Amino acid sequence: PSYRYKMPKMVLKQESRLNGVKINVVNIEEVADALRAPSIAIMKFMSSELGANLEQSSIIKGNHTYDVMLKHLDKFIERYISCRGCGYPELAYMLEGKDLKSKCNSCGKMNTHDAMHKAGKALINHIKQGKGQIVDITSKDKKVLEEDDDDEDGDKKRKKD
């Protein structure tokens, strides 16, 4: 079903020359809409990974190439957008205390995400403002999530039914 998941190519524009070079991601809103994620979370992730300051909502300080920016966008998609079970971007985000979690609408897997990263904090703020999808975690989902967390740590192995 890759035909359903189309993302426009990022358009980068260099804002200034010599000292104080800045890169403007001109179409970050279109990219964010295609990923169903807030643009500020994407930009905070990229600026943090690049070690550069974020200036305004679409400008990152420094001279960064398209390939480098795309590599970090792919890393954001892998960490926050794609399901770790099936790989599809069908996640519904939820908060459990201070933890950022998601449930895949495709395969049903519960995922945990890095809430301490700047992008994770931006996603949490987005959800708290009522702009993101919020799903109630049932007791069955909590049990599955705990088992999945144990599997990732290697402490327990889940038995097949």
CATH number where 32 lies: 3.30.30.170
Of how many residues is the chain composed? 161
- Alpha-carbon distances of 155 from 114, 142, 151, 159, rounded to whole Å: 20, 17, 6, 13
Q: Do 124 and 50 belong together in one domain? A: no
Q: Which residue has the tokens 């390939």?
A: 67
Does the predicted TM-score (pTM) go above 0.85?
no
Q: Do 139 and 159 belong together in one domain? A: yes
Q: Is 44 exposed, middle or buried (0-12, 13-18, 19+ CB in 10 A)?
A: buried
Q: Do 71 and 97 belong together in one domain? A: no
pLDDT tens for the chain, 161 residues: list them: 466 778 899 999 998 887 889 999 999 999 999 998 999 999 999 999 999 999 888 999 999 999 999 999 999 999 999 999 998 888 898 888 888 999 999 889 999 998 889 888 988 888 888 765 544 444 445 554 445 545 544 444 444 44
Q: Do 67 and 92 belong together in one domain? A: no
Last residue of a domain, one of 24, 59, 81: 81
Q: Which of 106, 72, 112 is nearest to 93 (CA)?
A: 112
Cβ atoms of 88 and 50 within 8 Å: the answer is no
Q: Do 106 and 46 belong together in one domain? A: no
Tell me which amino acid residue 141 is. Answer: D
Last residue of a domain, one of 57, 81, 105: 81
